[in-house]
Amino acid sequence: DAGVIQSPRHEVTEMGQEVTLRCKPISGHNSLFWYRQTMMRGLELLIYFNNNVPIDDSGMPEDRFSAKMPNASFSTLKIQPSEPRDSAVYFCASSPRTGLGEKLFFGSGTQLSVL
Amino acid sequence: AQSVTQLDSQVPVFEEAPVELRCNYSSSVSVYLFWYVQYPNQGLQLLLKYLSGSTLVKGINGFEAEFNKSQTSFHLRKPSVHISDTAEYFCAVSGPQGGSEKLVFGKGTKLTVNP
């Protein structure tokens, strides 16, 4: 298996533009997570899905952020409009299920820079 | 709510020296503890985890960690480090109220192994 695949690896955009980050989880994994990593706040969970259904989006910082999972093999995180403070590394992770002790499999991340 | 404190943001060591990366957690209930490693430009990977049983947990790449309930600690150790161990290490905790969807990460410790 190729692991969790994220695209693009790097994204540079200007303030106010729409940004879409993409994720393909590991086949057969039923849970998908979006994290944001910054120097100041560390690794924060934004939203997670179980069986393509958003379960908890309490970590999404603002209405400018939205996430979808139209099927078991694809998810997007969209920021519209983007702002400089959104600059961070965004990780997608998947796991077979949510449960005690479950291991998360992370993608390589998308480095987002909003100018 | 659970929280994790990694006491050192950066740890420089020489090759073949022993290393300990410290992690303390805050929780009033039973917890499950994890160490993840992030190599440069990659996503996080699970090093080891403690769910129950023996308090000494062995992981990949020669790392081990010891769960100490009285001190609420889960320090990571390796007796002899290699250049390839240079990475950022994250301690994480989840509790009986949730599994991977409730994982809380520390801010990370950057381990730099020098020749």
Q: Do B43 and A91 touch (CB under 8 A)?
A: yes
Q: Which of B39, B52, B101 is the best mutation test for A, with the most CBs of A within 10 A?
A: B101
Q: Please tell me if residue A109 touches chain B, with a CB cutoff of 8 Å.
A: yes
Beta strands A110-114 and A10-13 are parallel
Residues in chain B with pLDDT values less than 70: 28, 96-101
| pLDDT for residue B96 | 62
Q: Which of residues 44-73 of B touch A (CB under 8 A)?
A: 44-46, 49, 51
Q: Please tell me if residue A53 touches chain B, with a CB cutoff of 8 Å.
A: no
Nearest to A100 among B44, B51, B106 (CB): B51
Q: Do B99 and A48 touch (CB under 8 A)?
A: no
Distance CA B4, CA B23 (A): 7
Taking CA atoms, what residue in A is nearest to B51? A101
Nearest to B99 among A93, A102, A105 (CB): A102
Which candidate, A44, A52, A64, places its Cα nearest to that of A23? A52
**What does the pLDDT profile of chain A (115 residues) look like in tens digits?**
679 999 999 999 999 999 999 999 999 999 999 999 998 888 999 999 999 999 989 999 889 999 999 999 999 999 999 999 999 999 999 998 777 677 899 999 999 999 9
Report pLDDT digits (tens) over B90-104: 999 887 666 666 788
| pLDDT for residue B98 | 60
Contacts of B45 in chain A (CB under 8 A): 106
Of all residues in chain B, what percent carry a pLDDT higher than 70? 92
Count Cβ atoms within 10 A of the Cβ of residue B100 and give its class: 0-12 exposed, 13-18 middle, 19 or more buried.
Answer: buried
Contacts of B107 in chain A (CB under 8 A): 42
C-beta separation of B36 from B29 below 8 A:
no
Bond preceding residue A25 cis, omega within 30 of 0 = no
Q: Do A98 and B101 touch (CB under 8 A)?
A: yes
